[in-house]
Amino acid sequence: MAALWIAASLAFLQFALGVVVLRQNREDLARTIAPLAVAQAALCGLAFLVLMLLFLRSDMSVLLVATNSHSEKPWLYKFAGTWGNHEGSMLLWVAILGVAGATVALFERALRADTKIATLTVQAAISLGFYVFLLVASNPFARIAGVTEGQGLNPLLQDPGLAFHPPTLYIGYVGMSAAFSFAIGALITRDVTPSFARAMRPWILGAWIFLTIGITAGSYWAYYELGWGGWWFWDPVENASLMPWLAATALFHSVTVLATRDALRTWTIMLSCVAFSMSMVGTFLVRSGILTSVHSFAVDPKRGIFILGLLAIYICGALALFALRVGTISEGKRFEPVSREGLLVINNLLLSVILVVVMVGTLYPLALEAFTGQKISVGAPFFNATTGPLALALVAFMAVGPLLRWRHDGGRDLIGKLAIPLLVSVITLGAVYFFAGKAALLPVMGLVVAAGVAVGSVAPLWKRNLARTPLFTWGMVIAHLGCAVSIAGMAADSAFMKEALVPMRVGDTRSIGDFRVTFEDVAQVPGPNYDALQATLRAERSNGDSWALKPALHRFSTPAMVTNEAAIRTFWNGQLYVVVGDERPGNVWVIRMWWKPFVTLIWAGGLMIAGGGFLSLIGRVQRNAAGRKAKRLSAA
């Protein structure tokens, strides 16, 4: 706890000295800012490591360990339990925030000196707010006496995916805070220029990569762990992770235009504020106690008010500064509507509209209940009907954008470049209606658009020397292709999925898709910290191949809960998904089965998107480093 208090004091000192340096141009004090940021990160990192050791040792004298762990839990869940709760997750957030600030202090060379100081000052202000939140309202090291055994971690969270899903999202959220600090720092010093954008871009891209990985991993975790057969439920906390991703996607494309073509300056600053706002909104939703969800940890409304206060201070302050300084931001270079910049603006507008729709659909029911007490549900039908067509239009424009020239494009060459993708789309439309004419319109259009985008996304590689193609171009192609792959998986699963809910006794056989499934046995099986009721079914395909499937009900005692473990068999063209339900009178068991064609493309595409972003990040960092080296050599 002492380390957190000292780190908070250093954050305050870093912020105060930063303000003095910016106002009085004190170079002697400026040299202290970076060491303060590094020391703060070290102390906060130390605090988190200590908390992790307390969980691994099952130290029940710590209230957080006693309420979120158990001595008989497997070590992996003790380790993951460090952040599988409110206080631990907030400490992880602050630790990552500190590391981000230290990284800027140590390695950022592209920013102007005063802009770097301003960035670190803003970062210290953000950290300070969360330190106060931890120390006043969310102490992770609070002690308790007389407890010899813990209550255990939520069984739904006792899964290896938990060790990776939350931290990746936190890194993404904190990356957005760093981008916010860059943007506000540039506003303070009136340095909204291409060089500032080039410095900020790797942070945005890195945050976007981790958000992509986190959302993809979370989607698959919910798919196989919750046993409901779906890959996205439009849960408010799922939406809370999607909203920053949408804003970050728009921000990355905007900052790329500013970095390479000196345009969209105002867009970039505004989207930086929006992306960070969405990260804060996500934090508020998960930790305010207003949601009942497997994702939400806090149950104290005072904490929610505290986070809401931080959100208001940071965002209102940023918007006020933006309003004061927007007149000082030069327009930048102009471009024609028919150009690559023009298409990026259209994409950003579509992303912004989708973001607003998701935000309204997520927050409106909560606001209505808070003010009137009336409860309404906004679920998948609303979100699918509103965001689906917008997303398809977005992806279609995304495929066209890279085919256009910067600044101005007459469009004559574009028609020739689009001929093959359009032809593929038409062929796909005919094939879908020939083989599955009764499919709903939106999934059919998803398959059509995905086919055209898949071909169009590789068009930037046509007639190029592939060995000399920059890494960031490869990254763009792979990420755009990943979008097409994910959309194809979503559309195929929605259009062609088969589902069966059947009562079965041992020995019964039922059909689903191309499979005949026989219920062979049901038995009690002991687990490491639970008792399992495991069913054994055998799935046989028409060609004679067969496989054993073993769905189970896991009964935990600490805390008491029953979870449903699905049995999933993956094939090249889809997954067979089986869940066992409760026993009915007469030794009858409720078995639920799905055949989900090409559903794995959803997550494969997500990994491609993240992988493409990673290649782009490496390529941009290499190019920036080469540019700085060339400048040093020319100066010498």
As a three-state string, the secondary structure of 343-382 is HHHHHHHHHHHHHHHHHHHHHHHHHHHHHHCCCCCCCHHH
Rounded to a whole number of angstroms, the CA Rg of the chain reads 26
The token pair at 226 is 């919750």
pLDDT tens-digit map of 328-358: 887 778 888 888 888 999 999 999 999 999 9
The token pair at 54 is 């307390």
What confidence score (pLDDT) does residue 373 get? 80
Is residue 301 predicted with pLDDT exceeding 80? no
Which of the two residues, 289 and 350, has the higher pLDDT score? Answer: 350
Which residues, in sequence order, are CB contacts of 79 under 8 Å at separation 6+? Answer: 52, 55, 56, 163
What confidence score (pLDDT) does residue 410 get? 67
Cα–Cα distance measured from residue 474 to residue 611, given in angstroms and rounded to the nearest whole number: 10
Cα–Cα distance measured from residue 350 to residue 395, given in angstroms and rounded to the nearest whole number: 10
| CA dihedral angle for residue 169, residue 174, residue 175, residue 181, rounded to 10 degrees | 160
Q: Helices 380-400 and 441-457: crossing angle, nearest 10°?
A: 30
Q: Would you give the distance in Å from CA 374 to the centre of its chain?
A: 31
Is residue 580 predicted with pLDDT exceeding 90? yes
User: Are 94 and 43 within 8 A, CB to CB?
Assistant: no
What confidence score (pLDDT) does residue 579 get? 95
Assign 509 to helix, strand or coil. Answer: strand
pLDDT tens-digit map of 512-561: 989 999 999 999 888 777 888 999 999 999 888 999 999 998 887 766 77
Place of tokens 């891209």: 205
Whole-number percent of the chain with pLDDT over 90: 54
Report, as an integer, the average pLDDT of 426-445. Answer: 86
Cα–Cα distance measured from residue 614 to residue 472, given in angstroms and rounded to the nearest whole number: 9
CA angle 37, 42, 48 (to 5 degrees): 125
Phi, psi of 30 (to 5 degrees): -60, -30
277-281, 407-411, 581-585: segment of lowest average pLDDT: 407-411
The token pair at 285 is 């939703």
What confidence score (pLDDT) does residue 548 get? 95
- Distance set, CA 532 to CA 221, 251, 259, 475, 535 (Å): 20, 47, 56, 44, 9
Q: What is the largest CA-CA distance in the chain?
A: 88
Domain ranges of the chain: 1-156, 498-597
Q: Read out DSSP for 122-162?
A: HHHHHHHHHHHHHHHH--TT-B-SS--S-----GGG-SGGG
Bin 376: left if φ > 0, else alpha if -120 < ψ < 50, else beta: beta
Assign 1 to helix, strand or coil. Answer: coil
Q: What is the pTM of this model?
A: 0.93
Which residues are bridge partners to 554 per DSSP? Answer: 532, 563
pLDDT tens-digit map of 29-80: 899 999 999 999 999 999 999 999 999 998 888 998 888 887 877 788 888 8
Is residue 297 predicted with pLDDT exceeding 50? no
What confidence score (pLDDT) does residue 296 get? 44
Q: Helices 236-261 and 265-287: crossing angle, nearest 10°?
A: 160
Which of the two residues, 565 and 556, has the higher pLDDT score? Answer: 565
Cα–Cα distance measured from residue 430 to residue 445, given in angstroms and rounded to the nearest whole number: 11
Report, as an integer, the average pLDDT of 401-429. Answer: 83
What confidence score (pLDDT) does residue 75 get? 81
| CA dihedral angle for residue 65, residue 67, residue 71, residue 77, rounded to 10 degrees | -80
Exposed/middle/buried for residue 588 (C-beta within 10 Å: 0-12, 13-18, 19+): middle
pLDDT band of 162, cuts 50, 70, 90: low
